[in-house]
């Protein structure tokens, strides 16, 4: 089994690797960079001093600012015999340097040569100028504190780096603690939702923008789950209430037949009542199963067909119109094609027509035009209080009628990216199905 490491440990390990890697890089690159900077600074200073000298200023400025000058004649290979006490002392102290310098002076081909000689902890920087007024000018400076200065500068830089790393670690610790706390808050809220505790709103403030988005999404999810849970509870209540009546009738009338007591006079008539209630019960169960099946179909990737709505409407109206009913069903149908499975749309039209027949006084009008389906009935208007809940399962309608028909209609049309709305018109109600705007 793969070992799972905590996020804060992973972050800490990552930061440590970055810091250690940075220190190794600094300790590798920094000394050479500092030496280059230090050397370049001294060489530039010597060259600058050389550029300010004249023939008459060599003796005057010899030793000034720790820089000494020796003038070679182009016709001779020996150093000028005018040797000062400092120069004599230096010749005795740094014999090898002066021998090397003599050789360099004779062999120098470049206009300006820069060299460095190291003896113990001392470093001698010297510049050979082969174009100094026809002669060769050598200027040098002895740095006795080179190592000490270099080490001191290196330690100062390391101290600054150490302080910076310390500040970074403090900031990282606080940031990491806040990150972990935010993640624990998310875990706690998810655990609450997983346990079914949907009543506590999730606070979205006191977080960074990214975590606010996550907490807002969690709150939206909680609200939807809460609403779905309420719908489920209402459905369970309504289903139990809706099924209780036919079951009670079936049970009581069956007991009556067993006891030879016939509430409707004869056993045949009583059995017909039982049959009607069983048929009603069966239709309710079938509607529930179909509603649940729609939820499953919605999760599948179905490639919809197209069909001519006119043909389907005429077919459904043909077998649903009762010739003995005083209802006139009028239709105005164009050649529009709709997306979806014909049988599922058949159930949509059947449910809408069944609902219209329940409330219409004398007229139902079906119109299909430019890809829009509408069904009008001249029944009473729908109450404003039902604007947001009319298509919910088992919604109690006018006269206490409950059912699943309109809920099935809504879920079916949404399956094919359509939407259904209703509008109270003068003298009736119109249900309209239109394509969703994406």
Instruction: Say if residue 49 is in the same domain as residue 110.
Output: yes
Task: Let me know if residue 189 belongs to a domain.
Answer: no
pLDDT for residue 401: 52
**Residue 226 forms part of a structural domain:** yes
Q: Is residue 187 part of a domain?
A: no
Long-range pairs for 381-387 at CB < 8 Å and ≥24 separation? 381/424, 381/428, 381/429, 382/422, 382/424, 382/429
Co-location of 111 and 244 in the same domain: no
At 308 the pLDDT is 95
pLDDT for res 370: 94
The pLDDT, as a whole number, for residue 394 is 67
Give the domain-ending residue among 266, 299, 332.
299
Give yes or no for a contact between 424 and 381, defined as CB atoms under 8 angstroms apart.
yes
Q: Would 182 be classed as within a structural domain?
A: no
Residues whose CB falls within 8 Å of the CB of residue 35, separated by 6 or more in sequence, listed in order: 150
How would residue 265 be classed by pLDDT, with cut points 50, 70 and 90?
confident
Q: Averaged over 53-80, what is the pLDDT? A: 66
Last residue of a domain, one of 270, 299, 328: 299
> How much of the chain exceeds pLDDT 90, in percent?
16
Q: Are residues 139 and 238 in the same domain?
A: no
Span 106-153, pLDDT tens digits: 787 788 888 888 887 788 888 888 877 777 888 888 887 666 666 777
Q: What's the CATH number where 398 sits?
A: 3.30.565.10
Give the lowest-confidence range in 165-174, 228-237, 342-351: 228-237
Task: Say if residue 155's pLDDT is above 90.
Answer: no
Mean pLDDT of the chain: 80
269: CATH:
1.10.287.130
Residue 155 lies in a domain: no
159: Cβ contacts below 8 Å, ≥ 6 apart:
none
Q: In this structure, are residues 434 and 418 in contact, taking their beta carbons and an 8 Å threshold?
A: yes
User: In whole angstroms, what is the distance from residue 315 CA to residue 320 CA?
Assistant: 9
Residue predicted with more confidence, 270 or 207: 270
Q: What is the pLDDT of residue 75?
A: 47
**Three-state SS string across the chain, please?**
CCCCCCHHHHHHHHHHHHHHHHHHHHHHHHHHHHHHHHHHHHHHHHHHHHHCCCHHHHHHHCCHHHEEEEEECCCCCCECCCCCHHHHHHHHHCHHHHHHHHHHHHHCCCCEEEEEEEECCEEEEEEEEEEECCEEEEEEEEECCHHHHHHHHHHHHHHHHHHHHHHHHHHHHHHHHHHHHHHHHHHHHHHHHHCCCCCCCCCCCCCCHHHHHHHHHHHHHHHHHHHHHHHHHHHHHHHHHHHHHHHHHHHHHHHHHHCCCCCCCCHHHHHHHHHHHHHHHHHHHHHHHHHHHHHHHHHCCCCCCEEEHHHHHHHHHHHHCCCCCCCEEEEEECCCEEECCHHHHHHHHHHHHHHHHHHCCCEEEEEEECCEEEEEECCCCCCHHHCCCCCCCCCCCHHHCCCCHHHHHHHHHHHCCEEEEEEEECCEEEEEEEECCC
Pair 311, 424 in one domain? yes
pLDDT digits (tens, 9 = 90+) for 412-437: 899 899 999 999 998 899 999 999 88
In a domain, 350, yes or no: yes
Closest by Cα among 345, 312, 348 to 331: 312
Q: Tell me the mean pLDDT in the region 34-58.
A: 78
Same domain? For 87 and 110 the reply is yes
Please check whether residue 190 lies inside any domain of the structure: no
Rounded CA-CA distance 305/247 in Å is 40
Q: Are residues 282 and 337 in the same domain?
A: no
User: Which stretch, 321-325, 357-361, 402-406, has highest mean pLDDT?
Assistant: 357-361
Asked if the model's pLDDT at residue 21 lies above 60, the reply is yes
Least confident of 210-219, 235-244, 308-317: 235-244
User: What CATH number is attached to the domain comprising 55?
Assistant: 3.30.450
Choose the final residue of a domain: 299, 316, 345: 299
The pLDDT assigned to 79 comes to: 45
pLDDT for position 325? 72
Between 158 and 96, whose confidence is greater?
96
Domain identity same for 281 and 348: no
pLDDT at 402: 55
Domain that holds residue 36: 7-149
Answer whether residue 81 shows pLDDT above 70: no
Sheet holding 135-143, edge to edge: 67-72, 135-143, 122-132, 112-119
Q: How many CB atoms lie within 10 A of CB 83?
A: 12
Range ranked top by mean pLDDT from 25-29, 263-267, 272-276, 358-362: 358-362
Q: If we measure between CA atoms, which residue out of 35, 63, 34 comes closest to residue 49? A: 63
Task: Count structural domains, the chain.
Answer: 3
Note whether residue 175 is domain-resident. Answer: no
pLDDT of the residue at 424: 93
Of 68-72, 161-165, 295-299, 357-361, give the lowest mean pLDDT range.
Answer: 295-299
The pLDDT tens digits for 163-190 are 888 888 888 888 888 888 888 888 888 8
């Amino acid at each position: 089994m793969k070992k799972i490491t905590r996020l804060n440990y992973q972050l800490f390990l990552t930061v440590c690797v970055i810091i250690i890697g940075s220190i190794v890089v600094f300790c590798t690159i920094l000394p050479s960079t500092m030496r280059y900077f230090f050397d370049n600074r001294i060489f530039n200073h010597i060259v600058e001093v050389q550029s300010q000298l004249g023939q008459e200023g060599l003796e005057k400025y010899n030793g000034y600012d720790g820089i000494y000058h020796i003038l070679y004649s182009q016709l001779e290979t020996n150093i000028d015999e005018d040797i000062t006490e400092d120069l004599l002392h230096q010749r005795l102290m740094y014999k090898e340097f002066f021998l090397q310098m003599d050789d360099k002076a004779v062999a120098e081909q470049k206009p300006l040569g820069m060299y460095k000689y190291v003896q113990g902890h001392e470093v001698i920087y010297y510049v050979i100028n082969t174009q100094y007024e026809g002669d060769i000018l050598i200027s040098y400076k002895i740095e006795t504190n080179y190592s000490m200065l270099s080490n001191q500068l290196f330690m100062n830089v390391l101290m600054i780096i150490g302080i910076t790393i310390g500040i970074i670690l403090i900031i990282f610790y606080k940031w990491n603690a806040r990150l972990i706390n935010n993640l624990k808050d998310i875990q706690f809220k998810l655990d609450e939702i997983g346990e079914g505790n949907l009543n506590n709103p999730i606070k979205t403030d006191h977080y960074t923008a990214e975590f606010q988005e996550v907490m807002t999404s969690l709150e939206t999810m909680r609200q939807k789950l809460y609403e779905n849970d309420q719908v489920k509870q209402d459905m369970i209540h309504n289903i139990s209430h809706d099924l209780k009546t036919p079951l009670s009738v079936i049970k009581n009338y069956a007991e009556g037949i067993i006891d030879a007591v016939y509430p409707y006079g004869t056993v045949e008539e009583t059995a017909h009542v039982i049959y009607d209630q069983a048929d009603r019960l069966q239709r309710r169960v079938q509607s529930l199963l179909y509603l649940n099946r729609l939820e499953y179909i919605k999760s599948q990737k179905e490639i919809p067909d197209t069909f001519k709505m006119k043909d389907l409407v005429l077919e459904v109206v043909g077998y649903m119109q009762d010739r003995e009913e005083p209802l006139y069903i009028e239709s105005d149908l164009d050649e529009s094609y709709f997306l979806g499975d014909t049988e599922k749309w058949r159930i949509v039209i059947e449910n809408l027509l069944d609902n219209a027949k329940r409330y219409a006084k004398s007229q139902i009008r079906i119109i299909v035009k430019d890809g829009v389906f509408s069904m009008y009935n001249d029944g009473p208007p729908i109450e404003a209080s039902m604007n947001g809940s009319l298509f919910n399962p088992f919604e109690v309608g006018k006269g206490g009628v409950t059912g699943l028909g309109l809920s099935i209609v809504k879920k079916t049309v949404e399956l094919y990216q359509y939407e259904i709305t209703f509008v109270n018109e003068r003298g009736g109600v119109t249900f309209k199905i239109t394509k969703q705007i994406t």
